[in-house]
Amino acid sequence: MLLKLSARGLRPLGACSEEPFLVRVVGSDAGAPGPHDALLDRSTEGPLPRGHRAYLLHHRRDVAALRDAYVLGAEHRYVGVGDVLRIDPARGVLTAVYRAGAATNSLLVTERCDNFCVMCSQPPNDLDDHARVEELERAIPLIASDAREIGITGGEPALLGPRLIRLVERLATHLPTTSVHILSNGRRFADPTFARALAAVAHPDLMVGIPLYADVADVHDYVVQARGAFDETVRGIVALKRAGVAVELRFVVHRETIEGLVSFARFVARNLTFVDHVALMALEPVGFARAHLDRLWIDPVDYGDALTEAVRWLDTAGLTVSIYNHPLCVLPAGLHRFARKSISDWKNLYLDACDGCARREACGGFFASATVRHSRAITPFSDP
């Protein structure tokens, strides 16, 4: 995920910049270098072409006359052509802002949040996000125009106010064919003016994903640890849809929400049929979810009946439904057609128990963090 794949150990060769800077990785066949191009070089000898902003080398070699030449450590071997990187020479840190080879990329735009969810995977931090957003604005034009999808996450992105609108405008300008998915708690969009401002960008492929954890205010407010949040979130959903912005509802299943799963689905099927997508998701055991795991964890194999009934309500109402983050073998067979491979590739794994499973290709597998807790019912399929 964006701004999270940092690793220490970038080794400078000779003179280098003092301030952090952004680059787009190019190969030696890229033609005349642009002002932000960093050459990725795997050779061991021979001259290197001049004029690149930086040089990322797989092997230590003589680069006496070149500024900003760095040897990549083993942890940087993922770096590929088309990636957008932040290089911090003073700290020897290289951070992936965008990875061309990844199925999904997200821009983490702020760590601030006005919710404090009991299972938050990215616990909030009250940090000034001004410099972070400015840097992301500079990074967007470096991303290849054929990027499929970019997420905007936090924290709560809507706390950026007009700066979020500006960021989406920038995405619309530089990457007009790239899908944009904003993950928001929806509360700020209860202000119809703000919802209309986002709609006014007229991004051709924009969706806001909004978690709603119950059909009852008390339960939702408890899960997000914010009184009045349910009311604002529902008003935000309505305001966005009224303004013409696509909305996805997200429901994370755990011990504090499972009891209300079916009534949530019934509520959505009766009152919110105008939303564009509903995602029913398993818990990712990181952040607060990991800290509270004993209180929150419920084995998916134990809520198969409730999940089936919830999906039936939503599907029958004509809603598009997806099940995220659930291994295929823990779901009742009737739900397999709703299961999606939803886990970002950089944190996706399969267990030793999956060896030889005939449906591995169709299965989304596990979060890397699932090594701390996973279903007792993992059973490889013998038939494809």
**Shortest distance in whole angstroms from residue 373 CB to ligand SF4:** 14
Stretch 283-342 residues interacting with ligand SF4 (CB under 6 A): 327-329
Among 363, 367, 369, 370, binds ligand SF4 (CB under 6 A): 363
Minimum Å distance from CB 316 to ligand SF4? 27
Nearest C-alpha neighbor of 367 from the set 322, 339, 314, 326:
326
Binding of ligand SF4 by 354 (CB under 6 A): yes
Pairwise CA distance, residues 297 & 291, whole Å: 11
CB of 19 or CB of 352, closer to ligand SF4: 352
112, 174, 360, 373: residue in contact with ligand SF4 (rule CB under 6 A): 360
**Binding piece for ligand SF4, criterion CB under 6 A, among 3-11, 83-91, 311-319, 376-384:** 376-384
Rg (alpha carbons) of the chain, rounded to whole number: 23
Under rule CB under 6 A, residue 102 binds ligand SF4: no
Contact call for residue 378 and ligand SF4 (CB under 6 A): yes
Instruction: Name the one range near ligand SF4 by CB under 6 A: 4-12, 44-52, 156-164, 375-383.
Output: 375-383
* Contact (CB, 8 A) for 230 and 117: no
Does residue number 267 form part of the binding site for ligand SF4 (CB under 6 A)? Answer: no
- Residue of 311, 314, 357, 370 interacting with ligand SF4 (CB under 6 A): 357
How far is it, in rounded angstroms, from Cα 216 to Cα 234? 11
What is the strand order of the sheet 246-253 is part of? 105-108, 149-153, 179-183, 206-211, 246-253, 277-282, 321-324
How near is the Cβ of 140 to ligand SF4 at its closest, in Å?
A: 36
In Å, how far are 269, 273, 310 from 317, measured between CA atoms? 5, 7, 11
Q: Is 359 in the site for ligand SF4 (CB under 6 A)?
A: yes
Beta bridge partners of 70: 12, 56
Summarize as ranges the residues that interact with ligand SF4 (CB under 6 A): 327-329, 350, 353-354, 357, 359-360, 363, 365, 378, 380-381
